[in-house]
Structure 1
């Protein structure tokens, strides 16, 4: 694998597929098709002048995800090659946390995260989700209309995560604004990164002074003895990773459900589980589409391509997914209701190998509970915009709706028979 051979493609002078263009968000499959046409590994730009190798083949993706000797998560060699104002730096720069570490350091950071999240019992998380749905229901219910992105998915995640991380509900908008700018990777990315960093720094300072029953306090007190700086960057990672991708998974699932009236009726009647829709999204519109970022430790031949070091190697979970309207899942990977099992191997949205998502069960519970409670309370949600005309936020890393406007029969939570207030 390490010996260079004449038939290996070197993309250095090729024209890259531009994932930062305006056309990418509304039609990513066109860009993924162009990358697949280049072979298992394509050549792209994450931002103007910021090239990357993009892995679009399942076998090649698994090789990257499992091969710790060839590939690293540490971006510091790459950072030295890019300008300080690169718009993707906020999402890609090195920090001392589980995402950007390898080997023993990664195991140390990851084990602390697993330990503190294991203390979040399912019934506790479920209760926090129900509380958040109730608060949002009280706000938007009487109006008879809402944007399920701005009025439900994003504020719900802010409410639940601020609750888990020991912050008041009033801090939700700060979280939303900073992370939103940083994730989009545009002109406001640096501003968003600074806003979000201040948010986390203030949180850790408050918890260091007055610990509570929350995740940052548990990290500060963990037997692994993380420094305050390490805890800060662990929270920077987990709060951001918990908010943006989960809010997108929630809104993308709602759009898929509401875009198919027959599907929606089976969900509201209880004939089909919400999990089926969640898994369809993980296949077709995975919320963190291009954020499996690695770096070759040295120049190496890989699946017909010569990989240079200090250039990102991006596992594209979006390109690995099945295009719309196709379904290649083996029958054995289906649930009794006809949908895929949430952990079937035909998608890699949770990652794989040492860096696979450690909190997938928490994420799935949060999203399914939120949708179940919302659709019980508002069984007649009616989308205002056809699904093929919905707008998507720019940015190379995510698949994220701009808005999901709906109408419904106005309802007061006080008179709701579904038990949202319980």
Structure 2
């Protein structure tokens, strides 16, 4: 494994902030404060022996996100410096898709993705979400208690995204298991990557043989002429990027709503839109915390730090959100675009409206149907999944008055 003496010399008075430690999931603000104390760009480790520059200043973040002449998304020079069994490779290794491409290749892949997602009409997506919520509600409603992560947010995304990508409901557990292991970046990361990879390969093989009314089939038939291999990697990206962060967005928003009874009552009464809660999470507890990964194309001085090539430059969306919460408090502050959860520049999220629709419809339907949801634990006692890339609850236990779908006011 190659070391980075010059980069480490630049941070000779700084101890790398270890984002792979269990403490990062419990107290991310403490880690972000240590990073910000180093300046606009901090020195961290994404995994043992895997250093990275963490960008914690808003202007510096925008300078990275918008400057594709200086910064590349291609990780292959970095890959040559890390061990084959590094737990973060599953999330960071190069693949021929829109996330890891630059220039013309990126435009080609991104255009194809935008085109096929644009064919998903809002009313159709809303109907898919409503069907999924109804199915999950039929399971949890009579019990009077549930885990809104394991019983709602994650299976909801499996139902919606399997529907969009042309797979049956029964495949949801496989999707959840593989992506969960890969995202956490721990000892099971390679196993999760392999499981998820097999999942996508089987999907594309089935759609190559027989098309359907789904996103992979539309990608295979897109005028850009993507090969089956290229479609495989676009689906690998979009299915994962849609499922995991959206599930976290829903559960993080629900935890904030339920942790504030006055806030919850304004939502269930209709006095305040659910979108407020979702935007608040994007501002202050974004679900994809440290996954804006770039690489300097050449050594460069950047906001007072000498960046080496082949070292990840990570836009720390979570650190930016933490700073915003300290500055503005937990309420929604002016200008929804002031957060950077969707990214910026050429690689900004191309399907944010779809994500917002899924999250807001899911939360609205659930909270209207179960208006007396009550958290079992105070928010400060909730636990979070490990990993440097995400902000993800392990569970969100709640209780409520049992009810069935056929009761008055049931889900239609």
TM band (smaller chain): over 0.9
Aligned to 1:207: 207
- Report SS of the residue matched to 1:51: strand
Task: Name the TM-score, length of structure 2 as normaliser.
Answer: 0.96
Aligned to 1:233: 233
Contact 1:9/1:306 (8 A) holds in 2: no
Aligned to 1:354: 346
Aligned to 2:149: 149
Q: 1 CA distance for matches of 2:73 and 2:13? A: 25
Task: Name the TM-score, length of structure 1 as normaliser.
Answer: 0.94
Matched, 1:417 2:402: no
Aligned to 1:333: none
Matched, 1:223 2:226: no
Q: 1 CA distance for matches of 2:12 and 2:172? A: 43
Q: 2 CA distance for matches of 1:71 and 1:182? A: 25
Aligned to 1:28: 28
Of the three residues 324, 340, 345, the one matched with 2:337 is 345
- Report SS of the residue matched to 1:243: helix
After TM superposition, the structure 1 = structure 2 runs for residues 205-354 of structure 1, keeping only pairs within 5 Å, are 205-323=205-323, 326=326, 328=328, 339-340=332-333, 344-354=336-346
Q: 1 CA distance for matches of 2:388 and 2:352? A: 23
Q: 1 CA distance for matches of 2:333 and 2:326? A: 13
Q: Which has the higher helix share?
A: 2
Shift of residue 322, structure 1, vs aligned partner: 3.9
Q: 2 CA distance for matches of 1:12 and 1:374? A: 51
Q: 1 CA distance for matches of 2:323 and 2:408? A: 39
Contact 1:393/1:399 (8 A) holds in 2: yes
Aligned length: 405
Aligned to 1:191: 191
- Report SS of the residue matched to 2:372: coil
Of the three residues 363, 367, 377, the one matched with 1:371 is 363
Q: 2 CA distance for matches of 1:135 and 1:406? A: 18
Contact 2:78/2:310 (8 A) holds in 1: yes
- Report SS of the residue matched to 1:391: coil
Contact 1:154/1:176 (8 A) holds in 2: yes
Matched, 1:386 2:378: yes
Aligned to 2:3: none
After TM superposition, the structure 1 = structure 2 runs for residues 5-20 of structure 1, keeping only pairs within 5 Å, are 10-11=10-11, 14-20=14-20
- Report SS of the residue matched to 1:417: coil
Shift of residue 35, structure 1, vs aligned partner: 0.2
Q: Give ranges in structure 1 of 5+ residues lacking alignment.
A: 1-7, 330-337
Encode CA deviations 1:193-228: one digit per residue, 9 max, x unaligned.
000000000000000001000000000000000011
Shift of residue 328, structure 1, vs aligned partner: 3.0
Matched, 1:403 2:395: yes
- Report SS of the residue matched to 1:294: strand
Q: 2 CA distance for matches of 1:370 and 1:158? A: 13
Q: 2 CA distance for matches of 1:386 and 1:220? A: 47
Structure 1 residues 278-287 or 231-240, which shifts more? 278-287
Q: 1 CA distance for matches of 2:408 and 2:100? A: 46
Aligned to 2:163: 163
After TM superposition, the structure 1 = structure 2 runs for residues 34-45 of structure 1, keeping only pairs within 5 Å, are 34-45=34-45
Contact 1:9/1:304 (8 A) holds in 2: no
Aligned to 2:84: 84
Q: 2 CA distance for matches of 1:13 and 1:216? A: 50
Shift of residue 340, structure 1, vs aligned partner: 4.8
Q: 2 CA distance for matches of 1:163 and 1:209? A: 18
Shift of residue 9, structure 1, vs aligned partner: 7.5
Contact 2:284/2:325 (8 A) holds in 1: no
Shift of residue 321, structure 1, vs aligned partner: 1.1
- Report SS of the residue matched to 2:313: strand
Q: Give ranges in structure 2 of 5+ residues lacking alignment.
A: 1-7
Contact 1:254/1:371 (8 A) holds in 2: yes
Structure 1 residues 324, 75: closer, same or farther in 2, change over 3 A? Answer: closer
Contact 2:116/2:219 (8 A) holds in 1: yes
Q: 2 CA distance for matches of 1:150 and 1:41? A: 36
Contact 2:285/2:322 (8 A) holds in 1: no
